Amino acid sequence: MRKISIIIGAATSVVVSLFMFTGCSTPNQVIHVEQVDSIIKYKAKSTSPSRYSNLYSEKKNYPFTCKENCYQPSPLLECESPAENCRYIGRKSTPVINTGFTIRWLGHASFYLKSPEGSTVLLDPVSKQFDWPVNWAFKLSAGFFRNEPEWPSVNEISDTDAVLYSHIHYDHFNKDDIARIGQSAEYFVPLGFAEHFANDGYRINEMAWFSAKKLAELTFNFVPAHHFSSRILVPYLYEDNDATLWGGWVIEHEDKRIFFAGDTGYSKHFKDIQQRYGDMDICLMPIASYFHQENGNWYRYVHTTPEDALVAAQELNCKVMVPWGYGNSSWKMGDHSSHSALLRLLKIHKEMGSKIPLYILNEGEEVTF
């Protein structure tokens, strides 16, 4: 492997490292993007390769916690059985924020975005199941495969301009989808991520926290999240744990900003993001995967509850919040069922008196803000 380091422009002080993986007819082009004010935090006893750490690793104090009657039925959800196989039927009032962006929720954490000029972006695209053999391990433990979501057309996928990944976990990154999307798109990923791509001519930008890269009229800013990374069945037991970074994205277009949180627990990093970039126009926020039997406290530490997501949206000064993580095509890694997290969100939003407007999508639906 050859490594070439280049300094681009004293004004921006962006350091780019270009890795050319040899031994293959079409090597990947991997660009390491790190700016003078970027942040990389390593574990205190980091080994080789480096192990990353959250910005705020102390015990959390949560501003609000639902403790009883958190899953009351709602007339806004039409379900085949309690909190299962549901469709949101509430009135949808679109906030007038004039971003010009069209956002389609594909299911779980996957989104398809189109800018006012027509540039298209995929966020955490996972079109089917987990990568093999984890898909079968999940089927054996949970007893089901998820319902596969409706995916963008072949033309939409082939014309995708950018693909953004938040972290390496199986429900956010699937190697089969890379092959389906192909080499025409440019990929934006956390540090340490590129080695998980096949060496087949992909253009990959590895990003540090608070680094930025432009593509046409869009600027992609990689920002912190409070989470972890691994590509194995049991976290914290194998050597790849935390060897890749994790985070969220702030997508800027002129003076408009879309925030995609990725998987994250609640921490001070939300305030850091708002202080650095300003108020967010659209916030795509996770509301599920926060509870799992006796491990509930640990799950909440690295995943936001619906109330944590609302608090974070307030700290980001979001003009609208679009929740994700629940749904008929979900892996039901939330509290009780496919839509229990959404029921909890609807109850807590009213109970907290939140001023952040919610825009609830069913999988496959889109909206232009």
Q: Where exactly are the structural domains of the chain?
A: 2-40+67-368
**Model confidence pTM above 0.85:** yes
| DSSP secondary structure code for residue 38 in this structure | -
SS3 assignment, position 176: helix
Question: Residue 59 has what pLDDT?
Answer: 87
Nearest to 223 by CA among 253, 195, 258, 174: 258
CB neighbour burial string for 93-114, b if at least 16 within 10 angstroms, e if fewer: eebeeebebbbbbbbbbbbbbb
pLDDT along the chain (369 residues), means of 10: 32 43 71 94 77 91 90 94 94 90 98 98 96 86 89 96 96 94 97 94 98 98 95 56 94 97 97 98 94 66 95 98 96 84 95 95 97
CA distance 213 to 211: 7
282, burial (CB in 10 Å: exposed 0-12, middle 13-18, buried 19+): buried
CA nearest to 33, candidates 57, 12, 2, 59:
12
CB-CB contact of 198 with 158 (8 Å) = no
- Among 290, 294, 287, which Cα is nearest to 349's? 287
Specify the residue for token string 């956010």: 172
**What is the predicted pLDDT for the residue at 10?**
30
Query: CA triplet 181, 184, 189: central angle to 5 degrees?
Result: 70
- Give the fold, CATH level 3, of 2-40+67-368: Metallo-beta-lactamase; Chain A (3.60.15)
Question: What is the model's pLDDT at position 45?
Answer: 74
- pLDDT at position 50 is 80
Reference 156, options 101, 113, 107; nearest CA is 113
**What's the pLDDT at 241?**
81
How far is Cα 259 from Cα 244, in angstroms, rounded to an integer?
Answer: 21
